[in-house]
Amino acid sequence: MHPNERLPPLPRSWWLKHRYFIAYMVREATVLPLLFFAVCLLAGLIALLRGEASWMNWLAFMGSAPVLLLNGLALAASLYHAWTFFQLFPRVMPLRIAGRPLPHQAVVAAQWAGVAVVTLISLWLFMGGAR
């Protein structure tokens, strides 16, 4: 587990030595733009509580180029995370239907279909579909 006193500590650059380790660290880093997006949303929530003018300011802040860029990065990070996460699921929990193992690709595809459905429902809701 965590601290291991029997081994000498690795140099901080250990993960640069192999592309799998780099991919691992990139996946770990996907939470940094996610954190930015979550804090943005929290700021939006507070702006909404403060009233109309604050909300308009928040929308303007969200529309500024650096913020749009960071949130675009957050979208890319969330999709990269999803890609790694969906491949993990059939390996951690192999599913069987009528005794036959379900192909991994089918489970991954079903999860992407879930993302597509959630995205379409969200777009429909935000476009004013529920009014």
Partner 1 sequence: MSDKPSRRQAFDEPLWWGLFSAGGVCFAVFVPAAILCLALLAPLGVVPLDAERARSMLFSLPGLLFVGAVICLPLFHAAHRIRHGCFDLRLGHDGVNKWLTYGSAASLSAAALTGVLIGMLM
Binding site for partner 1 (CB under 8 A): 1-3, 9-10, 12, 15, 25, 28-32, 34-35, 37-42, 44-46, 48-49, 51-52, 55-56, 59-60, 62-63, 67-68, 71-72, 74-75, 78-79, 81-82, 85-86, 111, 114-115, 118-119, 121-123, 125-128
Q: Which is nearer to partner 1, 62 or 95 (CB)?
A: 62
Adjacent-strand bridge partners of 89: none
Q: How far apart are CA 110 and CA 131, in angstroms?
A: 30
Spell out the residues 6+ positions from residue 62 whose beta carbon is closer than 8 angstroms to its own: 40, 44, 68, 71
Minimum CB distance to partner 1, residue 33 (Å): 9
Provide the minimum distance between the beta carbon of 97 and partner 1 in the complex, in angstroms, as a whole number: 22
In angstroms, what is the minimal distance from the CB of 5 to partner 1?
Answer: 8
Q: Tokens representing 119?
A: 């995205």
Please report which helix (H) or strand (E) contains residue 127, including its range: none
Query: SS in 3 state form for 46-63?
Result: HHHHHCHHHHHHHHHHHC
Paired with 101 in beta bridges are: 96
Nearest to partner 1 of 98, 130 (CB atom): 130
**CA dist., res. 8 & res. 79, Å (int):** 36
- How far apart are CB 74 and partner 1 at their closest, in Å? 5
Nearer CB in complex with partner 1: 32/102: 32
Instruction: Using the minimum distance from each CB to partner 1, give the nearer residue, 6 or 100.
Output: 6
